[in-house]
Homo-oligomer: A and B are copies of this chain.
Amino acid sequence: MSTLNRSFASDNFAGAHPSVIDALAEANVGHARAYGDDDISLEVYAAFEELFGAGTKSFFVFGGTGGNVAALSSLAGPGDCVVCTEWSHIHVDETAAPERAGLKLLVRPSLDGKLTPHDLQVAAHWLGSQHHAQPRIVSITQPTEVGTLYSIDEVKSLCATAHDLGMVVHMDGARIANATAALGGPEKLRSFTVDAGVDVLTFGGTKNGIVFGEVIVYLPQSGNPVVERAVRYAPWARKATTQLPSKGRFVAAQFRALLRDDLWVTLGAQANGAARDLYEAVRGIKALRLATPPAVNSLYPVVADAIAERLRETSFFWPWDPEEQRVRWMTSWDTTSADVAAFAAAVKTCME
């Protein structure tokens, strides 16, 4: 077996869309004010305001972990904690970066990677007592780290419960493009974010075909003082998290390219489609225990360690639940039908 040109490890193994590289070259003319005060940045802030509504405030950051930590830092007071699932990136994959910023995570068990209103009610038992960190922030991931999607109603109902309990809601949208594509396209974006009650969003770029960069987006809220204070503090929360990009125009230029003609959703849809194709190609293999088609761009099959080792000769991929020998196969914006066919063939060979 030979390794593939395009792997099924992660969407950050993929490179950048050609138009993104072009955008970098195009932005590379003369001097521009640093730190996001340049003309391209201003244009992109306006574009985000158009996407999410007047009053939206956007802040570029380098990466996803940094974007989450800066956003959560801006929201938290001393002794506050963040309700999230056991699968959440902030818990599993950020190497204690939130805690280094003083943020306690209140981790809830979850089979499908989603928080429920009940989770918030359980967390709320801690509210008001000085002996417990105060769960005043909720962080959800859309799509989740196990490849599921919150429906519009689920986000709505979670946000409503959160707000009733005096909590604010952060959405980790590292792969928000895949969610948007899956939920009906760009015109549905507001329905599961700002209109559903989300307060602040990390809008991902890196995993959707750019070189680097994410955006913290504070959604326009009706006077929630915690969010308003967070917006005021956002520039300092970002820099204190070491996440202020120096030459901001290059982050902006990439996002301008992504937003043009909804390229970001097109790329998300391509990745989703490739995952569905892979699912169709291997769903017959019972041992994989793939119950349902993927909601977005990843599958979580059961693959015994020895088999996984052989299959990694074709394409590296990450373990996901070592206890259950679940692994993750992930497609990217650039995954082709040929890639899917070749990988599916390798899976079949290895599983026989």
Contact = CB atoms under 8 A, between A and B. Distances in A.
A99 B98 CA distance: 9
> Oligomeric state, in number of copies?
4
A13 B21 CA distance: 20
B240 A79 contact: yes
B233 A78 contact: yes
B240 A12 contact: no
Given A96-B79, A134-B236, A241-B242, A15 B33 contact: no
A6 interface: yes
A303 interface: no
Nearest to A27: B15
A151 interface: no
A319 B131 CA distance: 13
A130 interface: yes
A229 B78 CA distance: 11
Interface in A61-107: 62-66, 69-70, 73-74, 77-81, 92-105, 107
Given A69-B242, A97-B240, A107 B104 contact: no
Nearest to A73: B78
Interface residues of A, number: 87
A206 interface: yes
B130 A244 contact: yes
B242 A63 contact: yes
Given A28-B15, A233-B79, A242-B66, A35 B130 contact: yes
Nearest to A229: B77
Given A95-B132, A237-B78, A246 B212 contact: yes
Most buried by B among A24, A125, A211: A211
A231 to B, nearest CB: 12
A13 B32 contact: yes
Contact of A130 (B6, B74, B103, B239): B239
A256 to B, nearest CB: 15
A335 to B, nearest CB: 9
A291 interface: no
Interface string A25-40: 1011111111100000
A13 B245 CA distance: 12
Most buried by B among A132, A133, A240: A240
A70 B207 CA distance: 24
Nearest to A79: B236
Given A21-B24, A95-B236, A247 B15 contact: yes
In the A-B complex, the 6 residue pairs with the closest CB atoms? A79-B236, A66-B242, A130-B235, A96-B104, A95-B239, A62-B62
21 contacts: A4-B31, A5-B30, A6-B30, A6-B31, A9-B31, A9-B34, A12-B247, A16-B250, A24-B24, A24-B211, A31-B332, A33-B316, A62-B243, A63-B244, A63-B245, A66-B242, A96-B236, A104-B105, A109-B109, A207-B246, A212-B212
